Amino acid sequence: MNSLISKKAKPLSGTARVPGDKSISHRALMFGALTIGETMISGLLEGEDVLHTAAAMRAMGAKVEKSADGLWRTYGVGIGGLRQPENPLEMGNSGTSARLLIGLVGGHPIRTTFTGDPSLSKRPMRRVMTPLEMMGATFTATNGDKLPLTVTGPEDTLAIEYRLPVASAQVKSAILLAGLNARGTTTVIETIPTRDHTENMLRHFGVDVETQILEDGAHAISLRGQQTLQPGAIDVPGDPSSAAFPAVAALLHSGSEIRLSNIGMGERRNGLYLTLREMGADITFQHERLQGGEKVADMLIRGTGPLKGIHVNPALVPSMIDEFPALAMAAACAQGTTVMTNLAELRVKESDRLLMVANGLKACGVHLEMGEDSLTIHGTGQPPKGGARIETALDHRIAMSFLVLGSATPEPITIDDGAPIKTSFPNFITLMNDLGCDIGPEHD
């Protein structure tokens, strides 16, 4: 086990560039592999999750490689051109690889088996299986609706119209990816807008994707199948979900001043930063610009004293779904009560994040109440005492969140296993320590 310890730090200072956005990196490799020709990708996240996607695309016939200049290049096989992989596709810890690729191969007449680590093998896949079965795919799974599972795509993929029962960009994307190889127009309707990187990047590659707002306010996203993806260049912005960790760490220390450059700041991803500002955080967005269809900004974050507890706007939940563990650390140090609701999806992430956050914070001395889909945290305006050993259940964001909290608590915080951090933020420890944190192995 790679246990890590985080000791109390001084105020943070400096400039950092967090790794590339995980969602965009997966899509850049997948969509690049569906063009015919060369796609050049800069800023790709070289985390384990994304490397699983790269290996899967190779196993299905695409050329995916990192060049000596540090750029990644894909040479695609075209829509409909995916080859049946010889061996099961190993997805590791990566829900995004698994769900998006199940959609992609489910629209191709090939048979593919997916496997994953113990965390991914507990996560629900029924949400993608149901719409894909409607499109003609068939599944065999030995473990209910979980991995390992085998999907066989039909000869002729049916275009469907599907209203999402859960707010999930992964499910939306899985259906659209299967729809790429269907005859006719596939439409996904979402009542709650989720991250739109699939739509943005498909448009960037020349696919005609229409978004319409329906009478009831839902968004209908449609694409005609069998369009050609034109190869292009992708510049992946920094991941706002990774930026959450240095940002919260800076806010927990009065006197901090850090700059995080080139962060994706689209409105479907920026909920954490709007929420932290509402709690009184001094966060400024600078040089806002568009990069490959995505909004990007630099962030200046200053620690100016305790944040204040708030009732987090439930409408912002999808735009910060991965950031609740980090937000909970901020709430634990804030003055007053923070109420977070509509969090049912947190129970089916890399771990049951509601439970892992609640257990960990309680062990650190925080008063809180956990509901079925809510968390209420009572802060005192001071960091809690810390001094706990936190169970992380193969969840990178639980691991990083508690290391951030440990930078502020009087007693160090230890996490049981830091290995999963490599899935999304391989240089986390160096980057955080360069800003002033004191994170390292528990036993040298």
Alpha helical stretches, state H, 309-373: 324-333, 353-363
Each residue 288-327 as x (binds ligand S3P by CB under 6 A) or -, in order, gives ---------------------------------xx-----
Phi, psi of 117 (to 5 degrees): -75, 175
CA proximity to 54, closest of 23, 25, 20, 80: 25
- The catalytic position among 322, 352, 373, 416 is 322
Selected range binding ligand S3P among 132-140, 168-176, 221-229, 327-335, rule: CB under 6 A: 168-176
Q: What residues are paired with 40 via a beta bridge?
A: 73, 233
Closer residue to ligand S3P in complex, CB, 196/412: 196
User: Are the C-beta atoms of 185 and 209 separated by less than 8 Å?
Assistant: no
Nearer to ligand S3P by C-beta: 163 or 183? 163
With left for phi above 0 and alpha for psi between -120 and 50, is residue 416 left, alpha or beta? alpha
The b-or-e profile of 174-205 (16+ CB within 10 A means b, else e) is bbbbbbbbbeeebbbbbebbbbbbbbbbbbbb
Kindly state the smallest distance separating residue 117's Cβ from ligand S3P, in Å. Answer: 15
Based on the shown chain and the rule CB under 6 A, indicate whether residue 242 belongs to the binding site for ligand S3P.
Answer: no
Whole-Å CA distances, 91 to 56, 220, 264, 355, 431:
8, 30, 25, 24, 27
* Catalytic (active site) residue 322: yes
Please pick, from the candidates 35, 112, 157, 170, the single residue that binds ligand S3P as defined by CB under 6 A. Answer: 170
Of all residues in the chain, what percent are helix, strand and coil, respectively (each to 5)? 35, 30, 40
Binding mask 172-201 for ligand S3P (x = CB under 6 A): -x---------------------x------
Q: Exposed, middle or buried: residue 143 (CB in 10 Å: 0-12, 13-18, 19+)?
A: exposed
> Distances from the Cα of 243 to the Cαs of 58, 261, 279, 300, in angstroms?
30, 9, 18, 11
Residue 119 vs 173, nearer CB to ligand S3P: 173
Residues in binding contact with ligand S3P, number by CB under 6 A: 10
In whole angstroms, the minimum distance from the beta carbon of 44 to ligand S3P comes to 14
Using the contact rule CB under 6 A, the part of the chain among 66-74, 135-143, 167-175, 177-185 near ligand S3P is 167-175
Q: Does 23 bind ligand S3P (CB under 6 A)?
A: yes
Largest CA-CA distance found in the chain, in angstroms, rounded: 62
Give strand pairing partners of 300. 259, 284
222 contributes a contact to ligand S3P by CB under 6 A: no
Rule CB under 6 A: say whether 396 interacts with ligand S3P: no
Taking the complex as a whole, the smallest distance from the CB of residue 232 to ligand S3P amounts, in Å, to 20
Applying the rule CB under 6 A, the residues between 59 and 118 that interact with ligand S3P are 96
Q: Which of 262-298 are b and which e, b meaning 16 or more Cβ less than 10 Å from the residue's Cβ? A: bbbbbebbbbbbbbbeebbbbbebeeeeeebbbbbbb
Cβ of residue 107: shortest distance to ligand S3P, in angstroms?
Answer: 17
Q: Please identify, among the stretches 54-62, 163-171, 306-314, 360-368, the one whose residues bind ligand S3P according to the rule CB under 6 A.
A: 163-171
Q: How big is the chain by its Cα radius of gyration, in Å?
A: 21
Using DSSP's 3-state secondary structure scheme, residue 364 falls into: coil
Number of other CB atoms surrounding residue 222 within 10 Å? 18
Of 187 and 319, which CB lies nearer to ligand S3P in the complex structure?
319
Distance CA 397, CA 418 (A): 10
Region from 112-120, 166-174, 249-257, 405-413 binding ligand S3P, contact rule CB under 6 A: 166-174
* Shortest distance, position 278 Cβ to ligand S3P, whole Å: 22
Which residue, 173 or 222, has its beta carbon nearer to ligand S3P? Answer: 173
Q: Which stretch binds ligand S3P (CB under 6 A): 164-172, 203-211, 329-337, 359-367?
A: 164-172
Residues near ligand S3P (CB under 6 A): 23, 96, 168-170, 173, 195, 321-322, 345
Residues noted as catalytic:
322
